Amino acid sequence: MLTLYFAPGASSMAPHIALHEIGTPFESRPLSFARKENRDPAFLAINPEGKVPTLLIDGRPLTEVAGILFYLARRFPETGLLPADIEAEAQVVSWMSFIAATVHPARRQGPEHARSVYRIADQRLGGREWAVGQYSIADIHLFRLFWRFRGWLNPSADEFSHLSAHYERMMARPAVVKTIEIESAIGYQLPA
Ligand SMILES: N[C@@H](CCC(=O)N[C@@H](CS)C(=O)NCC(=O)O)C(=O)O
């Protein structure tokens, strides 16, 4: 059994989307940051960092967006969320490392720095439809970060033309629509 601990709009949105792409049954465990449910001793016993996403695989915790996305893509290979070609797979790992290590923390360093990092991501994506040539977990990871960035700074589509086109393609996917419907109905409690 898979159990996803998530907070609406947080990094956990990425594995939440992946689970809906896959269509496998899973238990949802929404946590409220406002009520500090992620600091609850019961949750800290599962993930001592108190962070989402956390996925339980038959009760065993797996943390970090990239790790969870990789696990889901490998466990359900029929969904094609990870390319079979070794170089394309390495590009997925490269994108997700860049997203986790550089793009995600950029927000904390302020709008100017964040913009400069998203410019690099925009250039890196270029005019491709998807990050590595086929839809993959890298697109899901990238989308969640740009979704958050857009909600924060509301940049014009011209400023990040490739990321904006990618965002529109992602927003057209039923799994993304479903995830956003579920999470927004619970209510976003993200820091400004
Ligand atoms: N490196 C982690 C970052 C996860 C993360 O920062 N989660 C945030 C929400 S976006 C969180 O749970 N924050 C709660 C806290 O730190 O108290 C990953 O990629 O999964």
Q: Is the CB of 62 under 6 A from ligand 1?
A: no
Q: 122 CA to middle of ligand 1, Å?
A: 23
42-85: per-residue pLDDT in tens?
999 999 999 999 999 999 999 999 999 999 999 999 999 999 99
Residue-level pLDDT at 189: 85
Q: Is the model's pLDDT at 190 over the cut of 90?
A: no
Nearest CA to ligand 1 atom 13: 51
Q: Which domains does the chain have, with CATH numbers?
A: 2-78+175-186 (3.40.30.10), 82-173 (1.20.1050.10)
Q: 169 CA to middle of ligand 1, Å?
A: 25
Q: Is the CB of 38 under 6 A from ligand 1?
A: yes
pTM: 0.98
Average pLDDT over residues 146-150: 97
Residue-level pLDDT at 117: 98
Q: Which helix (H) or strand (E) holds 61?
A: strand 60-63
Q: Is 60 helix (H, G, I), strand (E, B) or coil?
A: strand
